[in-house]
Amino acid sequence: MQVLLRRSEFRQDIGCSVCGQGFRLYWEQNSPSERATMRSIVLGELQEHHSRGQGGDQTSSAHPFDLFRLPSWTGSPKFSRKTLLAGSSRPPSDISKVVMISRRPKEPSQR
């Protein structure tokens, strides 16, 4: 499960404990327990933006400026929650569509 985040100076649902940057959260979860779990995961990932492995920037510049999702998903898009919840879809077919053409004339409609 992921949460969509957007930087916000005014209305803030969560803040980075390293730089203080505030964010609005857009949830997919409805239950309070799911939200609490995701909130702690998001806080950890926001801190990770400041790690040495990510450049070690301790300012708010360490976070993306545009909308972004956490926790980050590095797997195949076909296994994302959004795709899985969209339902099954038919796999692409290599078979061309065939159109049936009949030489028999249409019968006039009877009124």
Q: What is the DSSP letter of 99?
A: -
Residue 13 CA to residue 3 CA, distance in Å, equals 12
Task: Report the predicted TM-score, pTM, of the whole model to 2 decimal places.
Answer: 0.61
Query: How many beta carbons lie within 10 A of that of residue 80, not counting itself?
Result: 14
Per-residue confidence of the chain (111 residues) as pLDDT tens digits?
A: 678 899 999 899 999 999 999 999 988 767 888 888 889 999 999 999 999 888 899 999 999 988 888 877 555 555 555 555 555 555 555 555 555 566 666 677 666
Tokens for 27?
């949830």
Provide the pLDDT for residue 44. 93
pLDDT of residue 32: 87
